[in-house]
Structure 1
Amino acid sequence: MKSIFTPKKLALASLISAQFFSPLAHAVDLIDVWNSALERDPAYISSKYEQLAAEKHREQGTALWLPNVNLSATTASISNNSSTTGAQFYAPGMGTFNGANFNTSINNGFGNQYALSIVQPIFNKEKLSQSRQLKMSADVADLGWANAQQNLILLVAERYFDVLNAEETLRLMGKEQSAIQEMRNEMERRARLGNATQTDLEEANQNLNSIKLQIMNLKNDLELKKLSLNDLFPSKESIKKLSGNLNFSQLKLDPLASYVEKLKAQNIQLRMMSVQESIAKEEVAKYGISASPTLNAIAQSSRNVLTGSGDFGTASNTNTNNMIGLQLNIPLYTGGYRSSKQEESLLLLEKTRSDINQATLNLEKTLRNLWYSLQSSKDKLTVLKNTQKSSQDRLESTKKSYEVGSRTSLELLAAENELIQNQQVLYQEQVNNLLNRLRLASLLGELGEQDLKLVNAYLK
């Protein structure tokens, strides 16, 4: 598959090489989780078995046109009575007799019946449509498995970065708690000196309790996200973190129109629906007028043997038939069943086409949202980095002013909180950029393990 991380990848390739030979190889990364998820994710495994089972449809579609050979044997207790009158009888040396009667009778005799038949379809449009449908259903399963692979890649990346997001948020909130704790201690000291009111101290305590409660919730959220990741990779090892110095300058986007064309031609969901439309067309063809006649080549050999005794003494009947030829079948009236089935199939075909149109519109909307998000992400990251630098400079300036008494502790706390919030927004935007590129590749039907490796190169 072609990667969406185009057109320049040399810098990323070097990062990937460094990643593979890093001394931190013991830490878990995206590729470790991916390889584990291939053997653990129930949805992916289910899709694989579905694909393997559907592969048998190709054999079944071919088998519909191969000869059917049947052997039947019956043994039973049979009674048989026959009576013929007015027959002409002739025997050598006896002449000819008219008005002869022949009677045979076997009561509860022993009968054996054997038959071997071979039927070779020659013309059968309904069977032809069935054969095509079976083979196309295997194509749908192949696409479904490819879609499951893409979904698993996204699942691995999203759960991995969910944990990193939760860890980073908790780390930043810990820094904010430390700042609030310092302010609270300062308020307590000033209250003892008479430079702060009891209300100021209570407000500081309230802020401290509030941040402690938030951290408790964040810890619970982190544990839940770790458990979700453990479903794919059951390990207590630490996971690699997102590099602090990310450079997205070499990751370019093609024009939106070209992505829309790729979406319509390559999106796995649309390709599956297109095959389903073809299956629906074959369903219509199965019940057309031209599909009703069938022509088969047939060959049959049978033998019936009946022995026993009856009203006229011991008797034995043997009947042997051998036949080879053509059999034409034309249904003249089915009670309206075939016409009703064809009308139903036509309506379902139109429904499938409408579903394709709706899915195309929804996917195009998702594609546009992702494209504009990625298009603006580079500028947003630049602004956020500049904002972070300004917040860092402001914090340093406020600290110096606070040390000489020209700034209050509340102003220092506000500067620290602003820096922490900017760091969190910047981190989230970096994660969104990486995940959105994977999502865009998935929409275009191009997402593969190589894309996961490119994202993995940003971990350290």
Structure 2
Amino acid sequence: MYISRVLSLQKIILIIKPATSFNKIRHWRMMLVISPFLCSTAHAETLSSLLDMARINEPAYLSAKAAVQAARARTDQALGGLLPQINVTASVNFNKRNYITRSTEVPPAQDKYDSDSEQISLTQPIWKRPSYIGLQQAETAAFQAEQQLANTEQELLAKVVSVWLDLLAARDQVLFTQRQIAVAQHRWEEAKRGFELNYIGRPELEEAGSKQDQAMAEEVSAETDLNLKRAALEQIVGNVDQITPTFMRADAELADLSSEKLNAVLENVESGNHNILAAIQAHEAASHEVRKQQAGHQPTLDLVASYGKNSQPVGGFPGQAGYDIMLGTVGLQLNMPIYSGGTQTAKVDEAVAQKEKARFDIDAARNLSILSAKQAWYGWYSAYSKARAAGQAIKAANSALLAAAVASRNGLKFETAVLEAQQKLSEAQRDYSKSRYDQVVNFVKLKSVMGILLNEDIAALDSLFVEMPAGVSVSETDKVLTELVE
């Protein structure tokens, strides 16, 4: 089910029939504001392309990917501890020996000779319970890292959409404040001429100047917020100098959650949220750690075997012949821990406490995910209501603009009324766009919390946006305003 269409955005232009007393038209400001975004040589980006950029730039996502690789490597390490360990050693030595007996009948002797030795050894664990449990723990930790990566990716998808639409909203606010300045400028020019003709007093003149200054200050504030939003996007996707914000189509159909039940959504969150699933895997890994440390009290049994050769050209005593010794051994090696000063018991206690902590972490992850889902759910409903209200405000503003334009065409001096009506229309359009942005953001966040946000969903959102505002059919208001120009 989708949200029904609402009134399309009107073209914002200033078309004024000047009064005879205002013969200096050069003092008037055009209401049509050419945004630097519209005339920039930069290109508009799609959400899909921004997501591709984020995947190679966003530190948290890259960190989660590296964590998965590290976890898989630890699994290989744990498996390696259960496989045969084969080592080869070899040495070559130069020896100088002085041989002096305690008998005066045998003269001292001196030898210089080389010797070498080679050995290959094998160790195969037969019973090493901590290593077997360690392998299970490493596999569980790898699953946990994969769930954390999946959760990070869900958050990344939602973050790209949220930050991008925040940027669009900030851009819309800049455009609105620029239109405010045009209205304030007109009021100031009108007040200045009225003051010169003694139609108004100084307080009214100063009030008009104050409103103009306020409008300019609001523009500076809006531009500052826009720069901050661009900086936030830059943190995710990298350089944004060549990126131009797009515009949401006025006839874009948005997803409708009004037929969904919150309880059903929350059930899906508990079963599909990757942060909860990662916490469950962490608890299982902590359980393995308890078993592994408890197994540290048990004996271990290894099969050991070796084969080696020692060679030297002379014997152990002067005058003896050299020798080559080949020696092979095979056997079992038992290691029984007796007393470790309480270290192993303390490790067990630590593992038990960590397991309890992991259990509470599951509850914390579940509570946080449910809260996030509710925030997105109610945020969508709030934005949906605001969008409907803004749609009605656009209709009312169009009617007011039409009435002001007709009055101006009939010769009445309602130029200010036309400007104010256009400002009201711009404000309603800004609020309408912002509420629709919020609908999209909260819908995407809800799917992210449920763990079902896909790349295809982001690609589908691209169809909601265009590089330039789409043209609309000529309305009655447009016709009247066009006649005023002519």
Within a 5 Å distance, the mapping from 1:291-330 to structure 2 comes to 292-305=298-311, 314=320, 320-330=326-336
Task: Tell me the alpha carbon deviations over residues 350-409 of structure 1, each in whole angstroms, 9 at most, x when there is no partner.
Answer: 111112212211221121121122234433322231133224334544565688899988
Cα distance in 2 for residues equivalent to 1:111 and 1:337: 44
Cα distance in 1 for residues equivalent to 2:294 and 2:358: 19
Within a 5 Å distance, the mapping from 1:361-400 to structure 2 comes to 361-397=367-403
Deviation at 1:175, TM superposition (A): 1.7
Deviation at 1:442, TM superposition (A): 1.2
- The residue that corresponds to 2:146 in the other structure is 142
Within a 5 Å distance, the mapping from 1:219-298 to structure 2 comes to 219-229=223-233, 231-232=237-238, 234=240, 236-248=242-254, 250=256, 254-289=260-295, 292-298=298-304
- The answer (yes or no) to whether the contact 1:374–1:436 under 8 Å persists in 2 is yes
Cα distance in 2 for residues equivalent to 1:409 and 1:367: 49
Match of 1:169 among 159, 169, 173: 173
- The residue that corresponds to 1:54 in the other structure is 71
- The residue that corresponds to 1:72 in the other structure is 89
SS of aligned partner of 1:436:
helix
Cα distance in 1 for residues equivalent to 2:416 and 2:83: 86
Deviation at 1:183, TM superposition (A): 1.7
Cα distance in 2 for residues equivalent to 1:270 and 1:78: 69
Match of 1:34 among 39, 48, 51: 51
Cα distance in 1 for residues equivalent to 2:160 and 2:232: 10
Deviation at 1:68, TM superposition (A): 0.8
Structure 1 unaligned runs (5+)?
A: 1-6, 12-25, 82-104
SS of aligned partner of 1:297:
strand
How many residues of Structure 1 are paired with residues of Structure 2 in the alignment?
417
Cα gap change, 1:108/1:256 in structure 2, threshold over 3 Å: closer, same or farther?
farther
Match of 2:350 among 344, 367, 370: 344
Match of 1:360 among 350, 362, 366: 366
- The answer (yes or no) to whether the contact 1:183–1:413 under 8 Å persists in 2 is no
Match of 2:122 among 118, 128, 148: 118
- The residue that corresponds to 1:88 in the other structure is none
- The answer (yes or no) to whether the contact 2:301–2:333 under 8 Å persists in 1 is yes
Cα distance in 1 for residues equivalent to 2:96 and 2:283: 54
SS of aligned partner of 1:117:
strand
User: How big is the alpha-carbon RMSD for the aligned residues of Structure 1 and Structure 2?
Assistant: 3.5
**Which moved further from structure 2: 121-130 or 250-259?**
250-259
Residue identity over aligned pairs, in percent, reads 23
SS of aligned partner of 2:88:
strand
Deviation at 1:223, TM superposition (A): 3.4
**Counterpart residue identity of residue 358, structure 1:** A
- The answer (yes or no) to whether the contact 2:315–2:323 under 8 Å persists in 1 is no
**Which moved further from structure 2: 253-262 or 365-374?**
253-262
**Counterpart residue identity of residue 306, structure 2:** Q
- The answer (yes or no) to whether the contact 1:293–1:329 under 8 Å persists in 2 is yes
Cα gap change, 1:377/1:225 in structure 2, threshold over 3 Å: closer, same or farther?
closer
Match of 1:442 among 445, 448, 453: 448
**Counterpart residue identity of residue 296, structure 1:** D
Answer 1 or 2: which has greater strand percent.
Answer: 1
- The residue that corresponds to 2:460 in the other structure is 454
Within a 5 Å distance, the mapping from 1:85-164 to structure 2 comes to 112-164=116-168
Structure 2 unaligned runs (5+)?
A: 6-42, 100-108, 467-486
SS of aligned partner of 1:296:
strand
Cα distance in 1 for residues equivalent to 2:316 and 2:79: 52
Task: Tell me the alpha carbon deviations over residues 153-177 of structure 1, each in whole angstroms, 9 at most, x when there is no partner.
Answer: 2332233222211211111112222
Deviation at 1:252, TM superposition (A): 5.4
Cα gap change, 1:329/1:184 in structure 2, threshold over 3 Å: closer, same or farther?
same
Cα distance in 1 for residues equivalent to 2:346 and 2:289: 12
Cα distance in 2 for residues equivalent to 1:150 and 1:141: 14
Cα distance in 2 for residues equivalent to 1:35 and 1:381: 30
- The residue that corresponds to 1:334 in the other structure is 340
**Counterpart residue identity of residue 436, structure 1:** N
Cα distance in 2 for residues equivalent to 1:119 and 1:423: 76
**Which moved further from structure 2: 294-303 or 432-441?**
294-303
Deviation at 1:108, TM superposition (A): 9.3
Cα distance in 2 for residues equivalent to 1:107 and 1:310: 11
TM-score, structure 2 normalization: 0.75
**Counterpart residue identity of residue 379, structure 2:** S
Match of 1:189 among 187, 193, 215: 193
- The residue that corresponds to 2:213 in the other structure is 209
Deviation at 1:198, TM superposition (A): 1.4
Cα distance in 1 for residues equivalent to 2:305 and 2:317: 37
